[in-house]
A = this chain, B = another copy of it.
Amino acid sequence: MFAPLQNDTFLRACMRQATDYTPVWLMRQAGRYLPEYRASRAQAGSFMGLATNTDYATEVTLQPLERYPLDAAILFSDILTVPDAMGLGLSFALGEGPKFAHTVRDEAAVAKLAVPDMAKLRYVFDAVTSIRKALNGRVPLIGFSGSPWTLACYMVEGAGSDDYRLVKTMLYQRPDLMHRILAINADSVAAYLNAQIEAGAQAVMIFDSWGGVLADAAFHEFSLAYTRRVLAQLKRAHEGVVIPRLVFTKGGGLWLEAMGQLDCEVLGLDWTVNLGKARALVGSEGTSGGHAKALQGNLDPNVLFANATQIESEAIKVLDSFGTPHMNRGHTGPTHIFNLGHGISQHTPPESVEVLVRAVHAHSRKMRTETKNV
């Protein structure tokens, strides 16, 4: 059904297999910093107009790949499509974050929640298939969803928040309601990601964008436990091909050892984490009780506002902080997928991304050559 994959560097790195260079893609790589994206969005009329239209979603997903030699594509969509399908009414005003028309703040609203009919998310699965076809095997396609906790934040708050007062009030005052929301979210996210896999996604990523706002004990109980519940339900493979699973908790560096125990292949890290320390903690066999992880990250997106020499130098620092990945073909070992520590800023000069991607490819090839020659 789909063309054979020509560049499997990203998928190999996910599986902790040796690669010739460090693969790179960028969170939110199809986005507002690209003039061609802004033109498509203006035509579509709104963010959801783009996301719900197969042709537009395909077009904008491929835009960054036309410009840069990126090693993966990521479905153009939003982390909040699942609660939208639950009937909460997602919208995006221009220049603002997501908003829900209906919030989930009391027992009655929680009682009404259920795993949505996946038919309501058909537009996402159609987009996945269309993008996969359009990619024609160039690079793999990543599907994604928000984590159960991150979805709950928006469902209770109704929008982004500075202090997460409403969702945390529910968490501390009515933990029973919070657990009910999270269980429904976890089962919904699992069904949603499995349907993306069936539609053609070659890897899936869970964005726990707001896990880092939780207190230590609360993170384990209300975020990590439900990420685990999603992972336990995910397909391991599709049509005989393994589907790597990536988990990214923004601000989750303190909980890396616990996350190392997750049944997934890759952990995403933000820029506060030292990649060398993370590799020592969870990147190698024998660490984390044998559940070694590939690591993804973690350049500060604000580096892309500096000049070309500085961008190159900061990219090299990130690669060097991880160190040379293992080069033992036929075995698994520590691997690194280069990315930003969070989504790319809408204000980024597009030429900065070109500099970054080329620097990552060039320096990571050089690291491997130098290690061989030692």
Rounded to whole angstroms, the CA-CA distance of A302 and B171 in the bound complex is 9
Residues in B neighbouring A172, C-beta threshold 8 A: 300, 302-303, 305-306, 310, 314
Q: 0/1 per residue, A310-321, Cβ < 8 Å to B? A: 100010010001
Would B272 and A169 count as touching, CB distance under 8 A? no
Rounded to whole angstroms, the CA-CA distance of A314 and B212 in the bound complex is 19
Residues in B neighbouring A302, C-beta threshold 8 A: 163-165, 168-169, 171-172
Would A345 and B217 count as touching, CB distance under 8 A? no
Q: What are 15 pairs between A and B in contact, CB < 8 Å?
A: A168-B300, A168-B303, A168-B305, A172-B305, A172-B314, A215-B298, A215-B299, A216-B321, A217-B321, A219-B272, A251-B251, A251-B272, A254-B272, A254-B273, A254-B274
Residues in B neighbouring A341, C-beta threshold 8 A: 215
Would B215 and A271 count as touching, CB distance under 8 A? yes
Rounded to whole angstroms, the CA-CA distance of A301 and B307 in the bound complex is 41
Would A345 and B163 count as touching, CB distance under 8 A? yes
Whether A253 sits at the interface, judged by CB under 8 Å, is yes
Whether A347 sits at the interface, judged by CB under 8 Å, is yes
Residues in B neighbouring A165, C-beta threshold 8 A: 302, 305, 345, 347
Would A300 and B215 count as touching, CB distance under 8 A? yes
